[in-house]
Amino acid sequence: MIKLHGIHKSYRSGEQSVHVLKGVDLHIRDGELVSIMGSSGSGKSTLLNILGVLDGYDQGSYELAGQQVNNLGETEAARLRNKQLGFVFQSFNLLPFKNAAENVALPLYYQGVGRRERNHRAEEFLDIVGLSDRKTFMPNQLSGGQKQRVAIARALVGRPKVILADEPTGALDSQTTLEIMTLLKEIHERGNTMIIVTHEQDIADQTQRQIFLKDGVVATT
């Protein structure tokens, strides 16, 4: 599903250039549930951005679902994100002025799905994450766990090939963390490829494979 080969990435900040990724090789199979671990500064966020086509890379090759991802234009990248990828963020990133169902329906809007079909599918996926009774709630009326469930529904609604979760439980208490992890595993069992970026060992322990990132390279696979 995902093939990374010799990925290099450096950021320029003023005069200085910071070499963050120094040749990452990575292969994630279809339907796998993997975690990417690493201390802060190890480059795991950068890697996630490249995997999510949110950012480009300097060197190497990246193949996502059989398609080469190389120097895509903004429009191409947006289409790819929209079709192939679902994002779950640490800070949920819901639009505060849209209710739960409208937030979930947003990726479908950018896919050009009609309003009626959008609403129908948004409700269906809210049902899957167990929030069918919170459809019209605004984000500020929801608890952290509920917000993350909405975000997960939103990541799923476009039927993407890969779900990318960036510290999905980083802002949640331990009880809610447990619930969200259970939900994520359920979703994985439905046949989704899922990549979870985390720095917590007990989260990583619940995945099939752990990838350690250290100083810009993959340490152990």
Partner 1 sequence: MLDGLQEILFTLRQNKLRTVLTAFGVFWGIFMLVLLLGAGRGMQNGVWDDFGSEVLDFIIVWSGDTSVAYRGMGPGRKIQLDLADIQAITQQVSGVRMISAERHAGNGTISFERKNSNAQIAGIPDDYFRIKEDVPFNFGRRPNPLDVEEIRKVVVVGSAVADRLFAKGVDPVGKDVRVKDVVMKVVGVFYDKGNRGQNSERVLMPLSTFQKIYGGGAITNNIWLRPAKGVDGFELEKKVLELLKRRHDVSPQDMRGVNSFNMAMPAKNVNGLFVGIDIFIWFVGLGTLTAGIVGISNIMIITVKERTREIGIRKALGATPFKIVSTLLLESTLVTGFAGYLGLVFGVALLELVAFGLRSAGAKLPYFLNPSVDFQLAITALLLLVAVGVLAGLMPALHAAKITPTEAMRAE
Tokens of 100: 């739960």
CA dist., res. 18 & res. 13, Å (int): 8
What minimum distance in Å lies between the beta carbon of 191 and partner 1?
Answer: 21
Residue pair 99/136 in contact (Cβ under 8 Å)? The answer is yes
User: In sequence order, what are the beta bridge partners of 18?
Assistant: 11
The footprint of partner 1 (CB under 8 A) covers 45, 49, 52, 54-55, 74-75, 78-79, 81-83, 87, 89, 93-95, 97-98, 106-107, 109-111, 114-115, 154, 158
Query: What whole-number distance in Å separates Cα of residue 217 and Cα of residue 93?
Result: 29
Cβ distance to partner 1 smaller for residue 89 or 137: 89
CB-nearer residue toward partner 1: 28 or 48? 48
Q: How far is the CB of 178 from partner 1 (least distance, A)?
A: 26
Which CB, 5 or 98, lies closer to partner 1? 98
CB of 169 to partner 1, least distance (A): 18
Tokens of 9: 């990435």
Closer CB to partner 1, residue 30 or residue 110? Answer: 110
Residues 6+ positions from 124 with CB-CB distance below 8 Å: none
